[in-house]
Amino acid sequence: MKITLQVWRQANANDEGRFETYHQGGVNEEMSFLEMLDVLNESLINEGKEPVAFESDCREGICGACGMVISGSPHGPKKAITTCQLHMRSFSDGEEIWLEPWRAKAFPVVKDLVVDRSSLDRIVESGGFISVRTGSAPDANAIAVPKSNADRAFDAAACIGCGACVAACPNASAMLFTSAKVAHLGLLPQGQPERFSRAVSMVATMDQQGFGYCTNHGACQTACPKEISIDLIAMLNRDLAIGALSGA
């Protein structure tokens, strides 16, 4: 296979950035998308050029490190996978592929396709936890959790924090991410004491980070590699209203 890559190159946060074109031959359709970029990078290094910076770690779709907008779609054209799970057989010979970083004010570019997503961590730091001192927990079976609640909490907890929702959102909003964390903890009995104050403080932090707001488009859930539903956003809206108006 031969493909043409239009890759966003940007030396650092202050650089303007531009697209560069690479013609990549010898692409095997069994390769993963990132392995194709590995091959590109090795040839760039051999030519004495700087390789394309992109992020990845586990390369099996769970760590959330990888992610780029591939011809307009975060994590590429296939549903419910991360960039590292995408394989070249999803592309055709001769195809032109555009690679861009997640674009959002809250995700400044570090280099090329690598962005700084620490704004997501700051949202969690402001309340995305259950306060329980190590060693002070009651027996794990002391609090029964209905299976349906445990399952729904798990669906929300499946978020890998990759940021594709922000990248896909026309407003660069982090509502799906925030709602997933709030719902995960808010659906469990252990999470009730802090449920409403958690929603209020996490949303306040989210707003401060420079994300946009939610217009209920649903682009986030389409892009989400873990198929997290925007139903959780409705839950967050409710919890925030209760929390803010009750002074939680």
Binding residues for another protein restricted to 88-117, rule: CB under 8 A: 89, 98, 100, 103-106, 110-111, 114, 116-117
Alpha-carbon dihedral of residues 242, 107, 36, 94, nearest 10 degrees?
Answer: 90
Q: What are phi and psi of 212, to 5 degrees?
A: -80, -175
Q: How far is the CB of 93 from another protein (least distance, A)?
A: 16
- Between 72 and 92, whose beta carbon lies closer to another protein? 72
**Cβ atoms within 10 A of the Cβ of 90, count?**
14
**How far is the C-alpha of 172 from the C-alpha of 162, rounded, in Å?**
14
Q: Is residue 7 near another protein by the rule CB under 8 A?
A: no
Among 3, 176, 219, 228, which residue interacts with another protein (rule: CB under 8 A)? 219
Among 2, 4, 12, 92, binds another protein (CB under 8 A): 12
Could you tell me the smallest distance in angstroms from the CB atom of residue 107 to another protein? 10
State yes or no: residue 211 binds another protein (CB under 8 A): yes
54 in Cβ contact with 37 (< 8 Å): yes
Contact in structure between 173 and 212 (CB atoms under 8 Å): yes
Residue with tokens 């997290």: 228
Q: Find the binding residues for another protein in span 136-165 (CB under 8 A).
A: 136-141, 143-147, 150-151, 153-154, 157-158, 160-161
**Cα radius of gyration (the chain):** 20
Residue with Cβ nearer another protein (23 or 192): 192
